[in-house]
Structure 1
Amino acid sequence: MELNKPNNSEFEQYQIAKKQVEELKGFYSHLASFVLVNGILILINFRYSPNHIFFFWTFGSWGIGLLFHAIRVFNWIPFFGQNWEERKIQQYIKEENSKTNTYE
């Protein structure tokens, strides 16, 4: 009796897709906490000290972090994406192999 096992490429594709879903889930959690915390800070700020706007500091700095998280998750700048990492790994492997082949 033979069990139906996915081959390596299907398993690798599944692992890559699973990782992408986990990263997307992490981003949405980050976004939800950003909205919740900053919403509370805005309410506190306008309720207790409307003359001094302090929530901009948290909103701005956390917003920059959220932007970078979105850039990474949604691959808006593909230079540092997964494909770039894989290409660089292959390049280094190729360079290392050419170094060892020249000394033989």
Structure 2
Amino acid sequence: MESNFDEQKRLERAKKRVKKIKGFYSHLLVYVVINIMIVIININNLEPGESYFQWKNFITLFFWGLGLAVHGLSVFLPNMILGKNWEERKIKEIMERDKKRWD
């Protein structure tokens, strides 16, 4: 039977995970809205006959997109690579190592 302490730990871990995912989706939404506004502004500021496809129009999109990708990887990739229970296993490993050191 699972103790209240274990259940509370799982709940806290789940809340922390949901907060990280929500933060990523908020970041993604802001990225899309701001970059759409930048595209509209850039299109309105074009000279007649000037092409939109210039490097200066894609700087923010590209570098912020890199930051967004890193944010997404930090939120979603650890579970894909390390597994769902990695944190718990690592904590137990460290606690066992410390216990052996102090015994």
TM-score higher than 0.5:
yes
Measured in 1, the distance between the counterparts of 2:67 and 2:30 equals 13
Change over 3 Å in CA distance of 1:11–1:65 after alignment to 2? same
TM-score w.r.t. the length of structure 2 is 0.71
Q: Which amino acid aligns with 1:94?
A: E
Across the two proteins, how many residue pairs are aligned to each other? Answer: 95
Alpha-carbon shift at residue 72 of structure 1 (Å): 1.8
Alpha-carbon shift at residue 12 of structure 1 (Å): 1.1
Alpha-carbon shift at residue 13 of structure 1 (Å): 1.2
Change over 3 Å in CA distance of 1:13–1:86 after alignment to 2? closer
Unaligned runs of 5+ in 1: 1-5
Deviations, residues 24-63 of structure 1 (Å, cap 9, x unaligned): 1111110010001111111112221344442311111111
Alpha-carbon shift at residue 86 of structure 1 (Å): 4.2
Which gives a bigger RCO, structure 1 or 2 (Cα 8 Å, sep 6+)?
2
Mean Cα deviation higher: 91-100 or 6-15: 91-100
Alpha-carbon shift at residue 91 of structure 1 (Å): 3.5
TM-score w.r.t. the length of structure 1 is 0.70
Q: Is the 1:45–1:53 contact (alpha carbons within 8 Å) kept by the matching residues of 2?
A: no
Alpha-carbon shift at residue 87 of structure 1 (Å): 4.0
Unaligned runs of 5+ in 2: none
1:24 matched to which residue of 2?
A: 21
